[in-house]
Structure 1
Amino acid sequence: MPRPRARALARGARDLSQARCLARGRADGARRSARRRDRLPVPAAAGVSRQAQRARAPRDHGGARRRAARRAARRPGRAHVGERLRPVPAVRRRPALDLVLYLRGKLNTGLSRALNAARRGPRVTPPPLEEVIQGGRTPLALSRLLEGRSNRERQAAVARYLGEHRIPFALQAFGSPVCENFSVDVGSGERVLVLVAHHDAVPGSPGANDNAAAVGILLNLLERLSVSPPTRLRVRFLFTAEEERGYLGARYYARAANLEELAGVLSLELCGIGDSVAIWDAAEETPFLGRVRSALEGIGLVRDATYHVVGRIPLFGSDHRAFAPEGVPAYGFTLVPSREAEALRQFVFSPMRSAFRHLIHRPVPFDTYHTARDAGATLEPAALALALRALEAIIAEVT
């Protein structure tokens, strides 16, 4: 090989090696800069941990949010609590149940999307968020926080309400795009009563009774309870994401939670219409269920008249089912009209047999359930007030 050519090849190899070293150095420097940036102090908004803020920061077109969610997923043994992390039990997984709930969630949202697209109801225009946040604090007024908004907007509305009112909360992010659970503890003590309301809705539905009403009830109860917190019980207000897709938010929360401290769980679902309380999925008697009965009877409700306790309901479910398989006493909490009690019993316990009978008219509140007609105009202030009174009595009884 001619010497000039050999020298040229050697020089080219040297240049290539230097270029590779330079590229590696730049990549390493970028990684170090990213790590330093992650460690920089971030001004904390009211009620939001710095780590949670970084997870929700809008930079990098969502890339930072996805990276934060992946980092959290790699730490299944820790959970956000205010400004710090505390160790919790390792994640529990149930592959068969996960598959069933995943398929059920896909069917639920897909069917709702198709039916609501075919039978469009009157369009619900949500009020300006600022107007709702600074407006009335009744459960009915607070239900407007979510009604008619997309699931991303509903999630952001809950976070903004808690932040604007300086309510300290824990945030748990999961999935991609990032979904968020919010929890607020009120009171002190070793035992915890969990009250759950999911903040999402099915596609095409304004989601007033399912489940903006329940969120409004819990936000109002949170404010009332904060005035005089219980001293021997912590009440945890849990606002979950993705209930309609197979209780994803509640399952994610339950798998990383310390379940041993839970005295019981009540999941609020369809709480805006009716004059009687229904506690459902109560197949077995437990001390917690006994206290719930005592509380309801203590405010003058009569069993099988103005309150009902029923066993496991097929097909229909809610977030409490994320806790029940782990041995936690967990039940659904719903308001129903007394006049529809028998029709509802037939509908929920024999849905296939009664399907044709109810094609034209389903019993209230299922006539608007998962439809475009689930609007705020159907909510009853008296029902919201009854739910609030019943929950206050249950808290007092469990304390």
Structure 2
Amino acid sequence: MRIEEIVEGLEGRREELRKDPGTKASDLLYLEGVQGYYERILRAKREGKPFCWAVMFAPVEILYAMEIAFLDIELHTFYNLLVEGTCDPYLQAAAGHGFPVEICSLHRVIEGMSLKRDLPAPDFIIASSQCCDLTITFGDLSREYARSSFILDRPYRYDEDGLNFYVREIEELVGFLEAETGHRLDLKRLEEAVRLSDRAERRYRQIYHLKKHLPYPLRSSEGFKHLFYFYLLAGTPEGVSYFEQVHRESQEQIATGQSPIGKERFRLFFPLDPPSPYMDLLDWMEKEYGAIVVMDSLSSWWLQDALDPADPLRSLARKGFYNVFPRQLAGPIGDWIDEMVKYLSEFRVDGAIYINHIGCKQGAAATRAVVDALKRLKIPTVVIDLDML
């Protein structure tokens, strides 16, 4: 779908929710924030302002500080699935162009969108080596559009040498952005963006730890939704407002002593992906079995690092290591397993469902090690092969 159609779809969904008296304020804030993010893209294209494509793990706080509209082309595939209900036309276009069907469907959908020219042309592209190998192929897209690109190279290990290297990478990214836009980065604006990102992140962490409560105060699908919002709106007032509202609603739910699903019977852990094409399965598990997802790798904040607005570039480099998902899939795998084992008892997990995304080299490669660790803890585990899109 084109951006204009995504905006129309989100507006339609907002109208539906406004008419429902049971709609939570956070649900409306979520849709308003995502719609506003897409509208910024349309406005930038209309007014001739800087616009780029970026991967999911780019330091978007810098982009907000420099007033660069961006399309997270990885997350955009999921919003296309959410609004349109399918990505099949793009998968078919990519296959027809010779893209191997064995690779990650997310990247095949991006290629299909590009081939069908359903993506607004960028002024430049920001790619990254984390956490998926295929993100570096976005450089190929930059050549297709005859645009410049920058690839952030994230080191494998989170130590002092790795951190210093990544700080230099981010400094080079800033230089690239200044050259592409013709504007200098205002450090005061960046400090403010990092301050807002830190406020949202602190609430995000608090929400995650509220999930340890019995009964669980949220619905299964909400934890996955939080991740998308944080990646798109870190460094904005909208990001802070949303996570503060979710935190309030979670505390209010805990105060009732009741589960939002009725009777909670089973507490589940999803080590990798949600069943994104079939998210209604989560609602079905809640209704039929009282089974709720209380812990997942997509919204885990397991390290105690924090952002420091007074040292914004180094803070964003640290975030590149402790941020959710790269922390698990970018390695080393021993860190992922050690942290997973540590927290399983705190979240009182009864069972695990490993959604093995077909085509994901990192996730599929980790399956045996993660499942073996769960078996050693005598946690019943099932592995389901599923395509994410």
Normalising by the residue count of structure 2, what TM-score does the alignment of the two structures yield? Answer: 0.24
Between Structure 1 and Structure 2, which shows a larger proportion of helix residues?
Answer: 2
Whichever of the two has the greater Rg, that structure is 1
